[in-house]
Amino acid sequence: MTILHRYITQNVIVSFLIGLLVYTFISFMGNMIKIADLVIKGVDPLSIAKLFLLFMPYLLTICIPMALLTAVLLVFGRLSRENEITALRSCGVSIMRFVSPIILLGIFASIFCIILNNKIVPFSHYSARKLLFKVGMTDPVRLLTPGSFIELFPNHIIHFRSKNENKLKNVLIYQTTEKGQLRTINAKQGIIRNKPDKNELSIELINGNIQEPKEGDFRDFFNLSFGSYTITLPVSKMGSDPNNIAKKHKDMTIDELKEKIIEYKQLGINSTPYTTEIQKKISLSFSCLVFVLIGIPLGIITHRTEKTVGAGISLLLVTVYYLFIVFGKALDKTPAYHPELLMWLTNIVIGGIGIFLLRRVIKL
């Protein structure tokens, strides 16, 4: 590595570490309400500290790309503002030559984030949920989390979009009958009630329908609409063992998600949420490289004196990026919209714009 490469790389790494510290601190402060809630519930400080450390890898998946983008914008903005890039060009040094180490840095950061998203985050997120279970949040209603397939109860797979206390919205239940057939229950709303004296939960489903294939003919279905329908779920098998908590999408590695996809396809259940989660893990990891590709030319082009410009541009880009990710996840129950492909839309668009701008800067 030449002196020039070391100079630029060291500046980017130092700015990246400072930005990572700042963004992580801001993310931590954003979770202070949740921490305060744990304190009110009487959770001991040691368990709260463990929870913070377990959630740290998930925060890093967001903060690393943001910090890298901010660092690239600030460093190349300063190089352009102080005419160092002009001086290098006059000495016959091409832009591509001195930006190549930073592009390589973006590739390494993306590889690290793949490992982070696929191995570390699922382990830490699941460990945090088990710890929450152990510190006293053993009410079964609390274990029913929106947006994931819940397999806590025998012969039932439950999914719902949102929850407000004990009220559920957009409920989907797959129920295996005694004959081994798959019964599908959809309802616009649901009211869940805990019955500890009977060691069971009841879910009152409101305004929905039940579909069940006729025996011997999977192309023909019984279809029953209802105004109110109640199902009872035993909780005795859940016990108090935190290992009984079903894994959410975030708790699974890519290999585990692939196993779920195969299992659900064999059962005839929509596996798009798991496919979308796999693509989300990979696409978010490559956001590091994408942000480097667009950050270099933007930093050179803007070259403003205000240091807040770099942070402002990075926040805007990251906001747009994650809005599309959230939008894609919201469609993960609708295979027709191919939400798994939407996970890559922002990478393609922002990365394409970055390559276009970088080529223009090189030709200037």
Q: Band the pLDDT of 137: cuts 50, 70, 90.
A: very low
Q: Do residues 361 and 301 lie in contact, with contact meaning Cβ atoms separated by under 8 Å?
A: yes
70-107 pLDDT, tens digit per residue, is 899 888 888 888 877 778 777 777 777 778 889 999 99
pLDDT value, residue 282: 92
Q: How far apart are CA 352 and CA 161, in angstroms?
A: 34
Task: Report d(CA 221, CA 35) in Å as an integer.
Answer: 48
Q: In sequence order, what DSSP letters do the residues of 296-336 get, joined into one string?
A: HHHHHHH--S-THHHHHHHHHHHHHHHHHHHHHHHTTT-GG
Tokens of 78: 């300063």
Q: 287-302 and 272-285 are packed helices; what angle lies between their axes, rounded to 10 degrees?
A: 40
Evaluate if residue 32 carries a pLDDT over 60: yes
DSSP 99-127: HHHHHHHHHHHHHHHHHIIIIIHHHHHHH
Higher pLDDT among residues 221 and 350, named by residue: 350
What's the whole-number average pLDDT of the chain? 80
For residue 267, what are its two tokens? 């059962």
Q: Which of 162, 342, 190, 332 is nearest to 264 (CA)?
A: 332
Handedness of CA 245, 249, 254, 259 (dihedral sign): positive
| Angle between helices 95-115 and 272-285 in degrees, nearest 10 | 140
Strands 217-234 and 200-214: antiparallel
Please answer whether residues 225 and 217 qualify as being in contact, where contact means their C-beta atoms are separated by less than 8 angstroms.
Answer: no
pLDDT band at 197 (very low <50, low <70, confident <90, very high): low
Q: What is the pLDDT of residue 218?
A: 56
Residue-by-residue DSSP string for 220-278: EEEEEEEEEEEEEEE-TTTTT-GGGSPP-GGG--HHHHHHHHHHHHHHT---HHHHHHH
CA distance 259 to 244: 19
- Cβ burial of 206 (10 Å; 0-12, 13-18, 19+) is middle
Q: Say which residue, 49 or 290, is predicted with more confidence.
A: 290
Task: Tell whether the torsion through CA atoms of 49, 51, 54 and 60 is positive or negative.
Answer: negative
Using a 10 angstrom Cβ sphere, with 0-12 exposed, 13-18 middle and 19 or more buried, the burial of residue 164 is exposed
Q: pLDDT, tens digit, for every residue of 198-209?
A: 667 788 899 999
- Report the predicted TM-score, pTM, of the whole model to 2 decimal places: 0.70
Please check the confidence at residue 39 and state whether its pLDDT lies above 70: no
The pLDDT > 70 percentage for the chain reads 83
Name the strand (E) or helix (H) holding 36.
Answer: helix 32-40
